[in-house]
A and B are shown apart, each in its own frame.
Chain A
Amino acid sequence: MPLRVARVSWRLLLLGFLFLVCAAGLVGRLAHLQIVSHGHYAVEAEDEHLGIEKVLPPRGAILDRNGFPLALTLDAYDILIDRKAWQDEERARKGAEALSPLLNRAPEEIRSALGPETEGDYLLAGGLDYDLGQKIVALGLPGVKASPTLKRFYPEGDLASGLLGFLGRDKVGLAGLEADLQQELGGVPGTLYFERDSLGNPIPFGYRRLEEPQPSVDVKLTIDRYIQRVAEQQLDATIEKQGASGGTIIVMDPNTGAILAMASRPSFKLSDLNLNDEGRMELYRNRAVTDLYEPGSVMKVVTMATAVDLGVITPNTTYVDTGLASVPGGEIVNWDFSVNGVQTMTQVLQKSLNTGAVWVSQQIGPEHFYEYIKRFGFGELTHVGLGGEAAGEVRTSDDPEWYPVDLATNSFGQGISVTPLQMITAVATIANGGQLVQPYIVQEIVGPQENRVFKPVAVRRVISESTARTLRGMMQEVVEGNPSHLAHVPGYRVAGKTGTSYISVGGGYAPDITIASFVGFVPADDPQMIVLIKIDKPQNETLGGMVAAPVFAALAPQILTYLGIRPDAPPMVQQGG
């Protein structure tokens, strides 16, 4: 019997063909998704399933030299509102009402603060206390996110604000020591990768990988909180009393360069930071190292030290003061227009005679004079480690813009610009026996894995010990040799020099605007402490001796008693056995 072949209907064939085409399409699409685009979708899946969190190490503390905290870190919360989630009227109303008593803000104020935008997160409250943040977390309000963060706490209030600086919104130091020591204080953030669910919560025993943060360290400063406080109080009182525009006080150990206090005004308050106010930007710098000024007669001690070290003068060398010194390009007069006749070099310092300083500079000569100016550290950074430090402006005889009159004016501190820190460091050279020491403010770094102690650094010998001793004696005569000097400290022999410099204005000097200063160290024979006081544009009095010297007399006894430095003057009362 012949085999009969079933005839297949063309409709069936067509249907089968269509199914085949669709199946091929599906298979092709699957192959494209699974094989060709595998990488792309794997990344998308990873983005969807993988959560990434920055892990901040607790920020290191800033301590004073005795270990008292000046800046600490507290755990806190930032409260953010998801604008999209709060588009729902009922949800927003309930959320605002729940947050209102906790944030002490009216519900309407909370809702209106979000603005017209409908997307993105809005920072409703930053740096909330941890406990308060936990209460908000516990409420579980839709659209309300509590993001863990850190905030700084200052136990001493606004003390040393210009020195400490502050953090930005991203918890990175923006100014002061917070910025200069960001690497030490901030550590290095780590990263946590974790598998998350649809709500963003980590999946238990899911993928988890932690790149450990590098721990931060605590920084112990050379600053003493008590000395810093009395310095700031005296500075504020003097500025108010004299109607001044600002000022600086630096207290330093002349033998090591350790800075015990550094106060400058105007400055900002840590308790009242407003980073959005651009008008406050100028308050954020540390004027003790950034601002230049012409030091005036304080520079005469440097001129004298140079001349003594070169052997061209002694304290008893004399010259004839006619009240006028003629130099190429001009005539120099004394600050009080006095004419004093025969004067010793000690008397030049005591009476602060400009003509005497000019005479001494002429004995030295420009080459040696500027060599010693550089050796005393002027015109170069002190490398104290504070940001924004200025090197100062010194025109030497090698500069094309230098004129012979500059030697004369530089000898009494005009026409040369220095920072307050440079000036006190230079005079400290005389106090400590002739070594230029590097000022420093970080005493120790204390961390879980490291502990670094910073030792004093002697940069170079500037003058001989004999010269330093001679200048100490001359400076002691300036204060102790004048019974009416306002820098006297009962029980102690003080060595110092006042300065009154005029402020350069448009190529000349304003006659009634001064910078009044005083640099002194005590005890004179064995200095343990050196203080620089600089008051800017005092209104009531203008002279260094009237404005700055009394500050030293008020400040020094408190510090000397606190440091337990014995008096070196004859005892007031003697009690025998």
Chain B
Amino acid sequence: MSALDRLIPRPLSRPLSQPLSLRPVLLGAFLVIALVGLLQVVQTSGVTSTGYSLRSLEQERLARQAQVHQLEAEVAALTSMERIESEARGRLGMVAPAEVETLEVHKQPPAQQLIPQRYFPEAAESTPKAGSWQQRLLRLLPFH
């Protein structure tokens, strides 16, 4: 090699910029578009199902409300005077009193009416269930 060749830097074996291949670019773009489209579909689908869930929950709320009103009406019907009278007459065989007599008793009632213990219902067991160790742990927390 001449001295001049040593002073002049040897060119690189490969140029700095080389045009990229079209195929990976297209593939990448296609993937991005597909991803965006997929995200859009997923989001729309999620919104729609949430919306239908909301509607379903709203319908359920209305159904529960209607059920509450119906139960209130049933309680009212069960405590109505007509029903009480029909039960009293039909099932219990009661009749209206023919006459009412008023008796005035001038005697003080006993100070304390004692009822024998045997007439009281048995006390229900109050020991809680053991539960899992997680539940036992949760019970220790102050806000549980």
Contact = CB atoms under 8 A, between A and B. Distances in A.
Interface of A: 58, 68-69, 72-75, 130, 134, 148, 153, 155-157, 159, 202-205, 225-226, 229, 490-491, 557, 561, 567, 571-577
A571 B105 CA distance: 9
Given A72-B73, A225-B81, A134 B51 contact: no
A156 B80 contact: yes
Contacts of A561: 100
A573 B69 contact: no
Interface stretch (B10-18, B59-67, B117-125, B129-137): B59-67
Nearest to B83: A155
24 contacts: A58-B65, A69-B76, A72-B69, A72-B72, A72-B76, A73-B69, A74-B66, A75-B65, A75-B69, A75-B70, A130-B63, A153-B76, A155-B76, A155-B80, A156-B80, A157-B80, A203-B51, A204-B55, A491-B102, A557-B100, A571-B104, A573-B103, A573-B104, A575-B106
Contacts of A575: 103, 105-107
Contacts of A155: 73, 76-77, 79-80
B69 A576 contact: no
A156 B81 contact: yes
A516 B65 CA distance: 50
B35 interface: no
A101 B102 CA distance: 58
B40 interface: no
B47 interface: yes
B76 A576 contact: no
A537 B80 CA distance: 33
B31 interface: no
Contacts of A75: 62, 65-66, 69-70
A226 B81 contact: yes
Given A69-B76, A204-B52, A575-B103, 15 more contacts: A72-B69, A73-B69, A134-B63, A148-B62, A157-B80, A202-B55, A204-B47, A204-B50, A229-B81, A491-B102, A567-B102, A572-B103, A573-B103, A576-B107, A577-B106
A575 B103 CA distance: 9
Contacts of B88: none
Contacts of A130: 63, 66, 70
Interface of B: 47-48, 50-52, 54-55, 62-63, 65-66, 69-70, 72-73, 76-77, 79-82, 100-107
A556 to B, nearest CB: 11
A272 to B, nearest CB: 16
A257 to B, nearest CB: 25
Contacts, number: 78
A74 B82 contact: no
A504 to B, nearest CB: 39
Give the 9 A-B residue pairs with the shortest CB-CB distance, closest first. Answer: A204-B51, A155-B76, A75-B66, A571-B104, A130-B66, A69-B76, A491-B102, A155-B80, A153-B73
Chain B at the A interface: mostly helix, strand, loop or mixed? helix
Contacts of B105: 575
Given A156-B81, A202-B55, A205-B51, A68 B76 contact: yes
A157 B102 contact: no
A31 to B, nearest CB: 33
Nearest to B105: A575
A327 B40 CA distance: 102
B55 A577 contact: no
A572 B101 contact: yes
Contacts of A73: 69
A267 to B, nearest CB: 17
Most buried by B among A58, A75, A226, A567: A75
Nearest to A561: B100
A576 B51 contact: no
B10 to A, nearest CB: 55
B81 A572 contact: no
B69 A74 contact: yes
A206 to B, nearest CB: 9
A490 B77 CA distance: 35
Given A75-B62, A75-B65, A130-B66, A576 B106 contact: yes
A157 B69 contact: no
Contacts of A573: 103-104
A157 B82 contact: yes
A559 to B, nearest CB: 12
B93 to A, nearest CB: 21
A205 B47 contact: yes
A550 to B, nearest CB: 15
B102 A572 contact: yes
Contacts of B55: 202, 204
Contacts of A153: 73, 76
Contacts of B76: 68-69, 72, 153, 155
Nearest to B78: A155
B48 A74 contact: no
A68 B79 contact: yes
Contacts of A74: 66, 69-70, 73
A491 B99 CA distance: 12
A208 B54 CA distance: 13
A226 B84 CA distance: 12
B99 to A, nearest CB: 8
Nearest to A201: B55
B109 to A, nearest CB: 13
Contacts of A69: 72, 76
A253 to B, nearest CB: 21
A571 B103 contact: yes
A567 B104 contact: yes
Contacts of A72: 69, 72-73, 76
B101 to A, nearest CB: 7
Nearest to A71: B76
A520 to B, nearest CB: 18
A572 B52 CA distance: 75
